[in-house]
Amino acid sequence: MIILCLDEFKNEFEKLIRNNSYSSIEIDIIEYFFNKNIQELSSGIRLNNSDTIPFIKKRIKGRGGYRFYFLLIIKDEKLYLLFVHPKSGSLGFENIADELKTLLYKKVLECIKSDNLFAVTVNKEKLIFTKL
């Protein structure tokens, strides 16, 4: 599985990781998204009706955890992290607006075409973001 992300995801992650309240986010991302198969990653609320390219909203770590928005391209075994936000704490909120969901979806499709993305890998339990 190849994992990539938008600037928006990287920026939100970097903002959250600096806050002690969200210090577990890096390990939570690694445990949930890495070394998983497509079926495991396909669970969550589908924001589109696609079986081959699902746009997914997924809650991780329960009610007080995080909400992730990502796109899976099943045939290519690629996962695109679009956005993350905590559900609680000083930076937490319930949901993102439908307009932002639509904007993120359109942006990821444009970024896929232009390779304006970051590859996300793990090295010694740390996420590494590499500009394509």
Q: Give residue 126's pLDDT.
A: 95
**DSSP, residue by residue, 2-35:** EEEE-HHHHHHHHHHHTSGGGTTHHHHHHHHHTT
**32 phi and psi angles, rounded to 5 deg:** -85, -45
**Residue-level length of the chain:** 132
Q: 126 exposed, middle or buried (CB, 10 Å; 0-12, 13-18, 19+)?
A: exposed
pLDDT of residue 90 exceeding 90, the answer is no
What is the C-alpha separation between 53 and 78, in angstroms, rounded?
Answer: 10
As a CATH number, domain 2-131 is 3.30.2310.20
**pTM check: above 0.85:** yes
Q: What's the pLDDT tens digit per position in 33-77?
A: 998 988 899 989 999 988 899 999 999 987 778 999 999 998 889
